[in-house]
Structure 1
């Protein structure tokens, strides 16, 4: 019995030694660790809250300037509107001719303007139908179900295609398709209705500027 009592006293003694002194105790916590906790919290706030907020407030990282022209394919390009941000894509002259040109994506506010090119043997109407079918299969959204009738669209360089526009309470935009020399081009624009309206002239001008790159034959 005395051995057990002695062990219990030793355990209580060790437990007592592990408790922080009264002057360093708050709600049962050791106040001496508070500076370390505050430092960890400050680092967390810096990287999770403050840095993303600053990053979102910064101006465009790669804004379009006057004279820029973006490559859609090695032989086709267009003129983006100034101050739109280039999220992906190459300017004409930034790299040599290549069989592979990345898709283009521009942003302005909450508007996204994207251009993609791929091999296609059909017509612009058929390409538009295919794009809508793929969209419906992947996310359940049918652009054609929301849009008005298809309208012909011609660029300043004489390329002919077809376009549909849509406008809902939450989003608006358009899908325009062309087929040039066995290559299908799709131009998709989406954003808040008020911003689409404010930028409609710039958007139409960008689509209308699609044509052969100077010195290269489609």
Structure 2
């Protein structure tokens, strides 16, 4: 996969390293001479350019990228980059960093954003996830609120313990995508048993989130 990252600051470089380790092709776009340090990540293609300039994006061949990540520390820049790459170059997937939570409402499809990542929100979710057992925790919003990634840890006393994945009656527009158990990631199959302490990851609509909590504490149809 070819990925372009606008912004080669600490966040952009960290993302680039992770993607390179995963075997992806990475192009870093940076307009600041201070942050333009190709030697720091030699495996990436470095381009000294302003990602908010249409002509600069044309020269980089941004249309050849599968994903663009707007990762600068300026929300205005990230919005412009998202809009240009989506509308002018038809990049299939655009993710944008949200620096100020008050601006999160702007990061929608109207601005070309497919996935908005708010660092403050994610940190808060991680804190909640660490202390909340039996409560639903929203980890990330996908597709501008059309779906959310949420987590629920099976608490002591849940009627689901000992039952299997096939016994779950999931709400509408909901999918169980993974189970985290004792350091393992389990792709759930119908015959997999459920255990106390399982961290269950669901993708669901906002309207159905509350039904997941009911599913854990008072599941329908169990003997």
Same fold, TM-score > 0.5, yes or no: no
TM-score range, shorter chain: under 0.3
Higher Rg: 1
Q: Which is bigger in relative contact order (C-alpha 8 A, separation at least 6)? A: 1
The alignment's TM-score, normalised by the length of structure 2, stands at 0.25
The alignment's TM-score, normalised by the length of structure 1, stands at 0.26
